Structure 1
Amino acid sequence: MKVGMIGLGKMGLNLVKNMIDNKIEVVGFDLNSDSIDKAASYGAKTAVDTQDLVDKLDSPRIVWVMVPAGKPTNSTIDDLIEKLDAGDILIDGGNSNYK
């Protein structure tokens, strides 16, 4: 199994580490290059942008989005909708404003 992870902050990076520890291949992307480097140090493959991430995944693709709620999540999902195909899986793991 191979999963694309977008958002390599505290939660996303720990999920990457857990998946790699459990023999799941991960391709990671984040706007912060230091976060990408940390994911690579755990054994993740990395992507330079969302298109590169999608291109590195096998179909049907699994993409997990772990970015802040609101505009960052919405714009990331809008971007991915243009790049993913029917049958691909998109997981929105961003937190929400519960109030």
Structure 2
Amino acid sequence: MELGLVGLGKMGGNMRERIRRAGHTVIGYDRNPDLADVHSLEELVGSLQAPRVVWVMVPAGAPTQATIDELAGLLDEGDVVVD
């Protein structure tokens, strides 16, 4: 399984590591470049094979909506966003 994970704070960062330990591929993006595997949402989407799965782990409200709005312009039909 391969997935993109947006938001690598305390919860997201720990989830990335647990999922990787289970043998899955996780490509993570965070605004903090020290935590991120890629440097933009565009790079994240480009790193995933279609159909893509992107899990959003950012604070509720405006940050989540802004992230989903940006992903909507980058993803294709059949891709999945998990919020």
Q: Which residue of 2 aligns with 1:6?
A: 6
- The aligned counterpart of 2:63 is 72
Aligned counterparts of 2:4 and 2:40: Cα–Cα separation in 1 = 11
Residue 5 of structure 2 contacts residue 27 of structure 2 at CA under 8 Å; is this kept in 1?
Answer: yes
TM-score when normalising by structure 2? 0.96
Aligned match of 2:15: 15
What is the RMSD computed on CA atoms of the aligned residues? 0.7
C-alpha separation in 2, matches of 1:80 and 1:34: 22
Within 1, Cα distance between the matches of 2:39 and 2:13? Answer: 16
Count of aligned pairs between the two proteins: 83
> In the alignment, residue 77 of structure 1 is paired with which amino acid?
I
Structure 2, unmatched stretches of 5+, are none
Distance across 2 between alignment mates of 1:14 and 1:26: 12
> 2:35 is paired with a residue of what secondary structure?
helix
The alignment's TM-score, normalised by the length of structure 1, stands at 0.81
CA drift of 1:35 comes to: 2.1
Conserved? CA contact 2:33–2:39, under 8 Å: no
1:56 aligns with 2:47: yes
Could you tell me which residue of structure 2 aligns to residue 95 of structure 1?
none
**Letter of the structure 2 residue corresponding to residue 49 of structure 1:** S
Q: CA deviation at 1:47?
A: 1.0
Matches of 2:46 and 2:33, distance apart in 1: 19
Give the % identical residues. 46
Q: State how far apart, in whole Å, the 1-side matches of 2:61 and 2:44 are.
A: 22
Q: Which runs of 5+ in 1 are unaligned?
A: 37-45, 93-99
Cα displacement (A) at 1:19: 0.6
